[in-house]
């Protein structure tokens, strides 16, 4: 692969690869990605599928990006709307089962998602869910209703620089790069010279920006 692609893809792809592998993600499981239309979120959808997900629920606001994700029949898209709309949509999509949530948004979206996961009765108990907090684009804090933790077998944890096992990182990095080199994972890369960094940093071009030293 090109040096620029390697530089661009490792960080966003590892943000989903590592938490899935660390939590014993198994083939056929269902993953919900909150923030699936961003660079890291859209990669998370493809990473989950590459690692064996049977179904991915992709939630985001960019309609065009959701349409591209929906081209894979294993992906169910969820347009994010109001708090009530988001809760209802996630609850409906996850009614057939859910195993892992990868959350790049937090804030009000997380509140809606967590509310959607609660069981409404003893006869509607769902599967155990591992909720992984990765990013906070929508807000740094949430108001968590304690009853949600009593109404679902739910584990909430974070994945980031201070919570990742370095040994796992170095063990999984070659596997990730091999998947990229084999064409299973890709990313649009926008390249700019260091001399043009100010202009490139503030531009609205597509893809992930990589600065070269030439």
Q: Dump pLDDT digits (tens) for 67-79.
A: 999 999 999 999 9
Q: Dump pLDDT digits (tens) for 144-163.
A: 999 999 999 999 999 998 99
Contact indicator for 192, 211 with CB cutoff of 8 Å: yes
50-71 as b/e: b if 16+ CB within 10 A: bbebebbbbbbbbeebbeebee
**Domains of the chain in sequence order:** 3-158 (3.40.50.720)
pLDDT over 70 (residue 105)? yes
- Indicate the average pLDDT of the chain: 94
Q: Dump pLDDT digits (tens) for 163-201.
A: 999 999 999 999 999 999 999 999 999 999 999 999 999
Q: What is the pLDDT of residue 205?
A: 79
Residues recorded for the chain: 214
Q: What is the pLDDT of residue 116?
A: 96
pTM of the model: 0.94
Distances (CA, A) of 198 to 1, 98, 193, 201, 209: 27, 43, 10, 5, 12
Contact indicator for 127, 101 with CB cutoff of 8 Å: no
Report the run of H or E that residue 180 belongs to, with start and end.
helix 166-181
Q: What is the pLDDT of residue 125?
A: 64
pLDDT over 70 (residue 11)? yes
DSSP character for 145?
Answer: -
Distances (CA, A) of 93 to 43, 86, 200: 20, 11, 39
Average pLDDT rounded to a whole number, residues 94-119: 96
Is the pLDDT higher at 115 or at 119?
Answer: 115
Q: What is the pLDDT of residue 206?
A: 81
């Amino acid at each position: 692969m090109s040096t620029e692609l390697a530089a661009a893809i490792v960080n966003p792809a590892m943000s989903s690869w590592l938490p899935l592998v660390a939590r014993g993600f198994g083939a056929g499981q269902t993953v919900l990605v909150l923030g699936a239309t961003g660079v890291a979120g859209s990669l998370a959808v493809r990473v989950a599928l590459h690692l064996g997900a049977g179904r991915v629920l992709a939630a985001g606001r960019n309609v065009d990006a959701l349409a591209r994700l929906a081209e894979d029949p294993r992906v169910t898209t969820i347009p994010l709307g109001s708090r009530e709309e988001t809760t209802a949509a996630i609850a409906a999509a996850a009614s057939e089962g859910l195993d892992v949530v990868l959350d790049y948004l937090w804030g009000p979206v997380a509140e809606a998602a967590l509310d959607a996961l609660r069981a409404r009765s003893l006869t509607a108990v769902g599967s155990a869910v591992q909720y992984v907090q990765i990013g906070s684009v929508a807000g740094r804090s949430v108001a968590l209703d304690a009853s949600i933790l009593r109404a679902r077998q739910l584990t909430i944890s974070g994945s980031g620089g201070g919570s990742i096992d370095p040994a796992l990182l170095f063990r999984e990095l070659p596997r990730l790069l091999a998947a990229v080199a084999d064409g299973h994972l890709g990313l649009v890369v926008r390249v700019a010279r260091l001399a043009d960094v100010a202009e490139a940093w503030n531009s609205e071009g597509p893809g992930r920006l990589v600065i070269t030293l030439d």
